[in-house]
Amino acid sequence: MADMTIRKQGRAGRMTFNRPQALNALDHDMVKAIHAALDDWRDDAEVALVIIDAEGEKAFCAGGDIAAVYRAGLAGDHSVGQRFFFDEYRMNAAIADYPKPILAFMQGFVMGGGVGVGGHAGHRIVGDSTRIAMPESGIGLIPDVGGTWLLSRAPDHIGEYLALTAGRMGPGDAIHAGFADLYIPEQEWPGLIDQLCETGDTDFLAGQTPPEAPLADADLSAFAGADLADIISTLEAQGNEDALKPIRRNSPLSMAAGLRMVRAARNDARIQDSLAREFRFTYRATQHGDFLEGVRAQIIDKDRNPQWSADASEQGVEAMLAPLGDDELQFD
């Protein structure tokens, strides 16, 4: 398919995002193509490893292409989003559990759905341009695509901080927070990819000393608070406007639910547990959450002035995360 170039090269199965004009945004067809290729290569003796990269300098993948989900939800059809998220999360799990090495070369913006592809690979390579974030609370969602799983495993309270503020990480912070493994200057990537394709071997890979990681020294003690209100109160007492500014801008329901989900994911034994919990929220997002208003404000009208209205109380969070019965996310 044109938006995702999938082929075999030497000993490697290769997938390349090919929508640079759209910052390589991930749509439903691309989700299904990635999963199908992984299935095809799982038992293919010619494929020793899988390489995922992207065309363009600006983005590996800046997120999911959610315009279709928005339009359908606005028209009262919530099944479009439900099917998209169902297939996307199953693809994320397939990457995380893949029996062969998967290498993701992640330049530029790596956000949302892009983290769901690259963030679960076995070898996650970043360079100087890399900027990783889970910005979903700004559009009325939660850190999904296995984002709560990754955030829950970040040191200290970085997970809570990133979930609530949608903060961006450079390469040093990405490695420190557990969203990446190796820092390698981007000019070296083409040669490395050629060598990987030729040898089918990852043993020669070696990262260099990454840039500084400001999050390693940041005071994030406020994010240990019992709930969103407690965190905000502490940040106000600290006078931490850098953190308060995005928190005041993001969806209260998304932040309250995201906080709970990151903390719940710390007890998950496998990524599928986190994905299933995320699906409960996103399954309901177009009908009961702030998603339609968030997308309108940030992506459609671009007035950057969302009027959040979803119930962000403890009861509202419970309702968004309640079991789905027969509609629960299932994995083969």
Which of 329, 332, 331 minimizes the C-alpha distance to 82? 329
Asked whether residue 16 is assigned to any structural domain, the reply reads yes
Considering the entire predicted model, what is its pTM?
0.96
Longest dimension (CA), the chain: 60
Distance of alpha carbon 148 from alpha carbon 153, whole angstroms:
9
Residues 6+ apart with CB under 8 A from 186: 107, 127, 128, 129
Looking up tokens 């994911």, which residue turns up?
A: 265
Q: What are the helix and strand counts (H, E) for the chain?
A: 14, 9
Asked whether residue 332 is assigned to any structural domain, the reply reads no
> CATH code at 150?
3.90.226.10
Cα–chain-centroid distance for residue 148? 9
Task: Say whether 325 sits in a helix, a strand or coil.
Answer: helix
For residue 22, the 8-state DSSP code is G
- Expressed as residue numbers, the domain containing 243 is 4-327
Both tokens of residue 113? 């759905």
Give kind and range of the element (H or E) at residue 242: helix 241-249
Amino acid sitting at position 201 = D
Distance of alpha carbon 220 from alpha carbon 159, whole angstroms:
10
Asked whether residue 208 is assigned to any structural domain, the reply reads yes
Distance of alpha carbon 260 from alpha carbon 263, whole angstroms:
5
Distance of alpha carbon 176 from alpha carbon 210, whole angstroms:
10
- Per-residue DSSP letters for 141-210? --STTTHHHHHHTSSTTHHHHHHHH---B-HHHHHHHTS--EE--GGGHHHHHHHHHHH---TT--PBPP
- Residue 228: CB atoms within 10 A of its CB come to 21
Asked whether residue 144 is assigned to any structural domain, the reply reads yes
- pLDDT for the residue 1: 67
- pLDDT for the residue 65: 86
Sign of the four-CA dihedral 130, 148, 249, 285: positive
- pLDDT for the residue 332: 74
Tell me how many domains the chain contains: 1
Contact present, 95 and 119 (Cβ < 8 Å) = no
Residues 6+ apart with CB under 8 A from 80: 68, 69, 72, 73
Residues 6+ apart with CB under 8 A from 183: 125, 126, 127, 171, 172, 175, 207, 208, 209, 210, 211
For the chain, 332 residues long, give each residue's pLDDT as a single digit of tens: 689 999 999 999 999 999 999 999 999 999 999 999 999 999 999 999 999 999 999 999 999 888 899 999 999 999 999 999 999 999 999 999 999 999 999 999 999 999 999 999 999 999 999 999 999 999 999 999 999 999 999 999 999 999 999 999 999 999 999 999 999 999 999 999 999 999 999 999 999 999 999 999 999 999 999 999 999 999 999 999 999 999 999 999 999 999 999 999 999 999 999 999 999 999 999 999 999 999 999 999 999 999 999 999 999 999 999 999 999 999 97
